[in-house]
Amino acid sequence: MSDSPITLPRWRRIVLKVGSSLIAPDGQALSTRHALDLARFVQRARAMEREVVLVSSGAVAAGRATLRAQGRELPSGLTGRQGLAAIGQAELMRFWARFFDVPVAQLLLTQDDVADRRRFLNARNTLRSLRSLGVIPIINENDSVAVDELRVGDNDSLAAHVAVLAEAELLVLCTDVAGLHDRDPRKHNDARLLGEIDEVTEAVLAMAGGAGSAIGTGGMRTKLLAARRAAEAGIGTLILDGRARDDQHADALSGLLDERARGTLVRPALQRRAARKHWMLHALPTSGVLRVDPGAAEALVGRGASLLPRGVLEHEGEFEAGDAVEVRVGERALAKGIVQYRAAELGRIRGRHSREIAELLGECPSESVIHRDDLVLL
C-alpha cells in the first residue's frame, strides 16, 4: 500500500458523495459514527469559503429503520422500496440538518432530470441559486417515484452528473476502503493501493470487484465508471476511505483542504468534452442502433461529417426523432448521436441519397440522419 499522499488539483467547489455504508453502517439506522467527521469537514471547508455539495445515500435504510423501530412489517418490491425512500428522505434531511448552523436544501433527481436538456439546465440553475443563498445542497436520487426506466442507477453515477451540474473542480467518493487496489484488500493482505490513475481503462475496471456493502447499490466498479464520466468533463475524482478511523481518517479528510489526501485519484482527461456532448454521451439513454458502412464511418471520424442516409446499412430498435442512438461499424461502437428520423422513416430512406428523402417521405426535415453537431465519437 502506498503511504504517500496525493497532490490534488486546487478546488473551490467539490461534490462529496457519502455512501450507505457510511451513513447507515451495518445496514442499521442513520448513525453519526462516520457522518459526524464528514460534517465537520464540510464546516471547515465553508469556513475557508469553499463550497461542498453533498450527495447522500441512506434514504431507504432510514425508512427501513423507522418502520423497524415501530415494529411494523417491512414492505417488499419496487413500490415497497419507493415507500421506504419517501419515509427515509425526511429522516435523512433531519439527520444532516442538525450538523450545520446554515440551512440545508434537498434536491431529488431522476434520470429524466439529467437526460432532458431543459431539465438538466434547470437543475444546474437551481444549484447555482442554492450556492448564492449560502445553503448546503443535499442531493439524492428520487427513489420514492423512480422506476427502473427513470433511475440514474446508483449514487456514484448520480454524483458524477451532479459534479457536472455543480460545475465542481473535484468529485470525492467516500467509501469503506482506502481506494482502488490491484486486488481485493479484503481477501489479500498484500493488495497495493493505486494512488493515481490517468485513465479508467478496461484493465483498470477489471481490478474492481462488486458491491461491498449489504445495503449499498454500488461497488468500486461503479465508482470508476463515475470517475471516467467526470474525467471526460474535466473533473478529477478522489476515491477515499470515509470511515472515522482516528488519525488516518482525520488525515484523509483534512488533507483535502490542503489539496493532499490518501486514496485513489482519477485524473481528468487532457481533452475535455464540450458540455453538450458530455451530456449527450452520458445522460441521454440509447434507444436504438444504426450500422453504417466503412465509408460513412471514415467520414464521421476522419472529417467530422454528418451521418447521411446513404451510409446507413441497417437499424435496430423503435426510436423516435430526437432520440439518442448508437452508431456502429459491424459490432464496434463508433459514436452516439441524436437521430433526426424515427425508425420507420429511417427504414425507408437508409441507403438512399439525401435528395430522395422528400420524394420518399413527402418532406425532408433534414438532409442528415444525425447532424455532426448532434454526434459524439466514442
CATH number at residue 169: 3.40.1160.10
Higher-confidence position of 131 and 214: 131
Are residues 337 and 356 both part of a single domain?
Answer: yes
Which residue, of 226, 254, 275, is where some domain finishes? 275
Which residue, of 218, 240, 275, is where some domain finishes? 275
Over residues 12-36, the pLDDT tens digits come to: 999 999 988 889 887 778 999 889 9
Q: Are residues 92 and 81 in contact, defined by beta-carbon separation less than 8 angstroms?
A: no
Which residue, of 275, 293, 318, is where some domain finishes? 275
How remote is the C-alpha of 301 from its chain's centroid? 27
Are residues 108 and 138 both part of a single domain?
Answer: yes
* 145 falls within a domain: yes
In this structure, of 106-110, 208-212, 328-332, the range with the lowest mean pLDDT score is: 208-212
Q: Alpha-carbon distance 72 to 153, whole Å?
A: 28
Are residues 269 and 299 both part of a single domain?
Answer: no
Are residues 269 and 188 both part of a single domain?
Answer: yes
Q: What are the beta bridge partners of residue 327?
A: 290, 335
Q: What is the CATH number of the domain that holds 296?
A: 2.30.130.10
| DSSP notation for 9-41 | PP-SEEEEEE-HHHHSGGG-S--HHHHHHHHHH
pLDDT of residue 149: 47
Most confident of 26-40, 63-77, 295-309: 295-309
pLDDT of residue 289: 96
Structurally, the chain folds into a number of domains equal to 2
| DSSP notation for 169-218 | SEEEEEESSSS-BSS-TTT-TT--B--EES---HHHHHT--SB-SSS-S-
- φ, ψ dihedrals at 104, nearest 5°: -110, 155
Structural domain boundaries, residue 365: 285-377
Are residues 258 and 317 both part of a single domain?
Answer: no
In this structure, of 107-116, 132-141, 164-173, the range with the lowest mean pLDDT score is: 107-116
Q: Indicate whether this model's pTM tops 0.85.
A: no
Are residues 261 and 299 both part of a single domain?
Answer: no
pLDDT range class, residue 351, cuts 50, 70, 90: very high
Q: Which residues contact 274 (CB under 8 A, 6 or more apart)?
A: none
Are residues 267 and 356 both part of a single domain?
Answer: no
Mean pLDDT to the nearest integer, 74-78: 82
* 1 falls within a domain: no
Over residues 149-171, the pLDDT tens digits come to: 445 668 899 999 999 999 899 99
Tell me how long the chain is.
Answer: 378
pLDDT of residue 74: 84
